[in-house]
Amino acid sequence: MHTGSYDMPFPALLRYTIGILILCGGFMVFFRHFFQI
């Protein structure tokens, strides 16, 4: 199986949006853990 080839490339905008959401979620968890809220 080729892990890098897809029939339909994943939309760059959707990838960017998901990445931002993951980063925001990670920062939220980090700050909550750091400040013990």
Instruction: Give a yes or no: residue 6 inside a domain.
Output: no
Q: Is residue 36 part of a domain?
A: yes
pLDDT digits (tens, 9 = 90+) for 1-37: 455 555 566 688 888 899 999 999 999 999 888 888 5
1 within domain boundaries: no
Cα–Cα distance for residue pair 22/16, rounded to 1 Å: 10
3 assigned to some structural domain: no
Total domains in the fold of the chain: 1
Query: What pLDDT does residue 25 have?
Result: 94
- Give residue 8's pLDDT: 61
pTM over 0.85: no
Rg (CA), the chain: 16
The 8-class DSSP code of residue 10 comes to: P
Tokens of 24: 């925001």
From CA 18, how far away is CA 7, in angstroms rounded? 21
CA–CA distances in Å: residue 19 to residues 2, 7, 11, 14: 24, 22, 12, 8
Task: Specify the pLDDT at position 19.
Answer: 92
- 23: domain range? 11-37
